[in-house]
Amino acid sequence: MSQGMTLEGKRALVTGGSGAIGSAICRRLAAAGADVIVHAHRNVRRAEEIAREIGGSTVSFDIRDGEAARGAVDRIGVEKPIQIVVHCAGFHDDAPMAGMTAGQWTDVIDVSLNGFFNATQPALLPMIRTRWGRIIALSSVSALMETGGRRITRPRRPGCMAPSNLWRWSMPVAV
């Protein structure tokens, strides 16, 4: 965050907020004044620790489950709308394509791409209503170039960028 930038009054949901990168983002958003909701599915205890540290709150749901994600985002938004969604949730079960199973492919795509949609789409109308919103999708360097591992995560960057651009250009107001 640039010096002097404030997010006072803004509400942020960080999917995968219990992980190393997600928790660092939670800390920075909180330092800038945002009300941060730390998401976790498997590491809820760690999410609770981070939330206590930053004065935020937690939410737990399986990001692959569209109904669960929508329900959670809707419940969170009753009190105050989410205006920032940072998608850090990830699933690492990588293998070279020749040795990959269909299940490995499906699990990673469900978290990285479907999970991005599941957590972001329900927050869009509230962003529009408040006339302010930010959607941030993170990806590792392996999405851009071969790193000797994590080959399956490569579709994540273009897979998240396409809907982000679509949503950005289809918004009826400047969000």
Nearest-angstrom CA–CA distance, 41 and 34: 22
Note whether 38 and 47 are within 8 A (CB): yes
Nearest-angstrom CA–CA distance, 106 and 54: 34
Q: Please state whether 130 falls in left (phi above 0), alpha (psi between -120 and 50) or beta.
A: alpha
Nearest-angstrom CA–CA distance, 54 and 33: 10
pLDDT tens, per residue, the chain with 175 residues: 556 679 999 999 999 999 999 999 999 999 999 999 999 999 999 999 999 999 999 999 999 999 999 999 999 999 899 999 999 887 666 677 777 788 888 888 888 889 989 999 999 999 989 999 998 888 666 555 555 555 555 555 556 566 665 655 555 554 4
CA 84, distance to chain mean position in Å, is 9
- 11-169, CATH topology level: Rossmann fold (3.40.50)
Task: Name the DSSP class of 99.
Answer: G
